[in-house]
Structure 1
Amino acid sequence: MNRISPKKLLLSKWTAVHPMGKQKHFLVSKVILREDPQQGIELIEIEAVYSKKTKQICWRELSDSDHWTQGWK
């Protein structure tokens, strides 16, 4: 399990354990809050470093160490 602080998600770097479409390195480019900001984060947008393609995922998926590792490796 990766330990994640929601306050430090923006611009954090991640490596996909299993590359997605030949993309391995990602950057959190946007944090999407719920309608009520007091409820916290709803989704994040990750951007592939090489192709600049973006994808929205639940921010808690990053805590699964079978799929993501923190930093670029």
Structure 2
Amino acid sequence: MNRINPSKLLLSKWTAAHPQQREKHFLVTELFRDEEGVVLEVELQAVLTQRSKRIDWQTLKDSNTWLLGWK
């Protein structure tokens, strides 16, 4: 289980534990917050293809899916 401070996720680097379509390394490019400023979702951008996807930030806590940093 990765320990994460949601406020410090912007521009953090992540590695997919099981890469798909050669997309292994990702960068958090945007945080999506509610009216009270609580982080709900993040936008991950694949370094290789520049494709972006929006996911629940708590998904990054699962170390079976995401690894902190570029490995």
TM-score band, normalised by shorter chain = over 0.9
Gaps of 5+ in 1: none
Q: TM-score of the superposition, structure 1-length normalised?
A: 0.92
The 1-side partners of 2:52 and 2:42 are apart by: 10
Return structure 1 stretches of 4+ with deviation > 6 angstroms.
none
Aligned to 2:36: 37
Give the CA deviation at 1:37: 2.6
| Percent of residue pairs identical | 48
In structure 2, C-alpha distance between the alignment counterparts of 1:25 and 1:57, rounded to whole Å: 15
TM-score for both structures, normalised by structure 2:
0.95
Query: Contact (CA 8 Å) 2:7, 2:39: kept in 1 or not?
Result: no
The runs of 5 or more residues in structure 2 that have no matched partner are none
Count of equivalent residues: 71
